[in-house]
Amino acid sequence: MRNLLKALILLINFVSIIFTAMIPQLSQIKVSKRVFNNKIVKVYERRYAEKKSTHALLFYTGANSLIPGDIYSNFINSLNNYNFSVIIAPNNQKANNLLLDNIINEYKSIIPLSHSSGYINAINTINTFDTIKNAIFLDPVDNSLLYKKIPRNINSKIQNVLIINAEKSYRWSLYPLQIPFIPFFSLDIKKFKEELSNNNDNNNDNNNDNRKNINININKIEETNFGHSDILDTLWSDLMHVTLSRGNKNRDQDYLNLYIQRISEQIINFINENDLKDDNINENDLKEDNISPSSEE
């Protein structure tokens, strides 16, 4: 299984290099590179953005952040359109620490954003930097039992968490046969919240502080009609749809872009402390019966 994953990642990297060379960057978006601990970190942001007034999303991609950010280009572009800077976090904790040390005061705030098992790396960062108050997890996968370094003692300073689950990744079906892509390692939100609360209790006791726990705000959104890989660019999203990870029946890119835009809107509402309901793209716009004849299965 690990050899298969490595082969898939090599293929993704190869195709991503080709597509990146073929597709010119949009003029209003600039892509820069920084190097930390010999790891290249890509930064996507609006060309004339004022960093001090810009939120930076530190993006931990899937497969424990080994998957290149290039296959999320539509999603990243959507986030850029909402004035976020997007920094692709490397799969190297030392490089991440050096990166955070360098950018922690550059932006209005630094917010970890993870997809799939990138959650593990995001938690390691949250544990290291207690200035981080908000975090966003897309289909969080806790596969820490497969690795020697298990993230524990989740930072008690975290105050707000947004979890967005693509529900098709968790769904069982006998007819038609559908096996969930995330059956066993999905994040246990109840346990996650208990860990945060317990840490707050311990910290309050250690500091002889009689205050009650801070109110940890966990928002969970369920995207009923979408799968784990629908957030990826078309080539990879469609490949996963017909192999490992069932997605929405409508494979038209314009339609999937609406889903990506909706996720971006939910993120900006969360950061702006709105009620997560004021989206221009609502769930009724993304029902599976909104399928063009050419995209039906």
pLDDT tens sequence across 150-206: 555 566 578 899 999 998 877 655 455 455 556 566 777 777 777 666 655 555 555
Cβ pair 43, 34 in contact under 8 A: yes
For residue 114, what are its two tokens?
A: 């993870």
Confidence of residue 14 (pLDDT cuts 50, 70, 90): low
Confidence of residue 25 (pLDDT cuts 50, 70, 90): very low
How do residues 216-265 score in pLDDT, each as one tens digit?
Answer: 789 999 999 999 999 999 899 999 888 878 889 999 989 999 999 999 99
pLDDT score recorded for residue 128:
87
Confidence of residue 28 (pLDDT cuts 50, 70, 90): confident
Confidence of residue 1 (pLDDT cuts 50, 70, 90): low
How far is the CA of 153 from the CAs of 20, 76, 93, 146, 184, in angstroms? 39, 30, 17, 18, 22
Give me the DSSP letters along the chain: -HHHHHHHHHHHHHHHHHHHHHSPPPTTEEEEEEEETTEEEEEEEETT--GGG-EEEEEE-HHHHTS-GGGGHHHHHHHHHTT-EEEE--S-HHHHHHHHHHHTTTSSEEEEEEETTHHHHHHHHHHH-TT--EEEEES-B--GGGSSS---S--TT--EEEEEEEGGGG--BTTTTB--SSSS-B--HHHHHHHHHHHHHHHHHHTT--PPPP--EEEEEEETT--TTTTS-HHHHHHHHTTTS---S---HHHHHHHHHHHHHHHHHHHTT--S---SS-GGGG-TT---GGG--
pLDDT score recorded for residue 116:
92
- Complete domains list, the chain, with CATH: 2-228 (3.40.50)
- Angle, to 10 degrees, between the axis of helix 118-128 and the axis of helix 93-103? 50
pLDDT score recorded for residue 245:
80
